[in-house]
Amino acid sequence: MIKAIEIEKLFKEAKIAVLGDVMLDRYFSGDAERISPEAPIPVVDVNNVWHIPGGAANVMSNLASLGAKVWGFGVTGSDAEGKLLKDILVQRNIDVVNITADIHRPTTVKCRVIVGHHQMLRYDFESREHLPNHIASKLIKGLEQIATEIDMLVISDYDKGVMSHEAISSILEIARNHKIEVLVDPKVNSTRSYVSVEYLKINISNAKKVTGMDFVTPSKATKQICQTLAKITRCNNLIMTMGKEGLLVFSEGKMTRIPTLAKDVYDVTGAGDVMTAVLSLALINGYDITTACEIATIAASLKVTKIGTYSISREELISEIKIRASSMS
């Protein structure tokens, strides 16, 4: 229960490696008071441009913001956007030695146009080609070198080419050899490759596709979807996110539903990354899976009140946990 959360446990020292598809989120915000004479579309007068780490880099950023020591693993292009992304991460005290540049791909950049609280448009620059062997090997070797230092490995797989089946196998072998717990947040294509990980977090839409149950309505078969996915992946702890329906946790054969927390929702961008970061931090520091998911849900409820990709702070999270606990007293 939220009212029983021991806050002091949450921010003990944690050492986490985050591996996956790093991105740069670019935002253009302004006013739209005209319709274009060229087409029936609004003209946005841009008055602000900013950049925030996205994807796996957003997980890194949130963990660092909450006080964890973070090693980043991923690939950018050999371009200005890649340099900018690494510079931002360095400013946030994230180790970027193993974020490698590939001259044959662009840095993944998601560009969003914002007017008020509304996202008007998004356009992306990216490659989904698998990494060349020498770059994949470099990431794997880098993980091997720091494996004795970390408490957990978080894999944030957005299906942008970093996590091939072969790379996943090598990475999970390193984790097994060093007894490192792994939390994975995968997309559809690679989910079946993450066999026997300790924690797997997936949204219900992707889970239905992976299990071949995409024709089933959530209200009728969420338990069956969880059980089938857990059997496919041989995962000990499965966390299935269901949007406004909250979370479903399947652990040791037991199913637990955790409701979403009511908030004014302005933007869900990056909420899953926030949840992944806080979930890993809570698990490392000894919370059981259900309590860890409750804390992660609180963190996600904070994020959705913010426009754009966002890193929550310790102070925000502590304050919100106390408010939630007080409301239940």
Active site members: 273
Residue 308: name the closest of 118, 56, 42, 94 by CA: 118
DSSP string spanning 51-98? Answer: EEEEEHHHHHHHHHHTT-EEEEEEEEESSHHHHHHHHHHHHTT-EEEE
Q: Taking every pair of C-alpha atoms in the chain, what is the biggest distance, in angstroms?
A: 63
Kindly state the tokens that stand for 211: 């299990």
Determine how many CB atoms are found less than 10 A away from the CB of residue 19.
30
For 40, which DSSP code? S
Do residues 152 and 63 make contact, with C-beta atoms less than 8 angstroms apart? no
Residue 66: name the closest of 291, 241, 265, 298 by CA: 298
d(CA 39, CA 42): 9
DSSP string spanning 209-225? Answer: HHHT-TTS-HHHHHHHH
